[in-house]
Amino acid sequence: MSEKIEVYIKHDEIMSAIDDMAIKLNEEYKDKFPVFIVILKGAFMFASELVKRMNTPLNIDFMVISSYGSSTTSSGNVRIEEDIKINIENRHVIIIEDIIDTGQTIEKVKQKLSVNNPLSLKLVSLLDKPSRRIVKENPDYSCFQIEDKFVVGFGLDYNQMYRNLPYIGILTEVK
Ligand code: IMP
Ligand code: MG
């Protein structure tokens, strides 16, 4: 089995969507000293582009999540491998994700973070795949809504490959 990747969202389009996202967040979080919590590994590239564009003081921390299952479908077996170190009590928190698919990962992350009583908790995702949602979780902001396709690149992987692609591509398995 091998894979074929077809460009779906070009690098330039991603950059300009992140520019727009940063404008919104800079306005909303001006003087709020937010905490950005980056969900690894998938969100690393989106987060690095986004935070470079932020012009308000902020903190950044990371949560490492893994979910076990087949390569192209979410399993719901979400495990928090590494938690944040920063204290988020009474802070404005923004979760940075790569993609919201079934919503199970983000449901678990939000439950975990809510226990620490943040002042506010919002979800920003590069991609949103609403057609596959099975729990009631939606991003507050997303750069792109996509169809029910398995995508890779710009942080997203297939068997830990293709995270480095500078664009988002649709992956298909070919026999
Ligand atoms: P959820 O729990 O079903 O919302 O899945 C979220 C996680 O599954 C994401 O953080 C990704 O790591 C992974 N995922 C979901 N859809 C895709 C995809 O199209 N390409 C690559 N990874 C995906
Ligand atoms: Mg992920």
Whether residue 170 is contained in a domain is answered as no
Substitution candidate for ligand 1 out of 135, 156, 159 with most atoms within 8 A of CB: 156
Tens digits of residue pLDDT in 157-166 = 999 999 999 9
CATH code, 24:
3.40.50.2020
Phi, psi of 41 (to 5 degrees): -95, -25
Supply the DSSP symbol for 147: -
Tens digits of residue pLDDT in 91-104 = 999 999 999 999 99
Whether residue 162 is contained in a domain is answered as no
Q: Of 56, 76, 57, which Cα lies nearest the Cα of 67?
A: 76
**How many structural domains is the chain composed of?**
1
Bridge-partner residues for 97, per DSSP?
125
27 C-alpha to ligand 1 centroid (Å): 29
- Cα torsion 145, 148, 149, 154: sign: positive
pTM of the entire predicted model: 0.95
98 C-alpha to ligand 2 centroid (Å): 6
- Count CB neighbours of 172 within 10 A: 13
Whether 31 is a known active-site residue: answer no
87 C-alpha to ligand 2 centroid (Å): 23
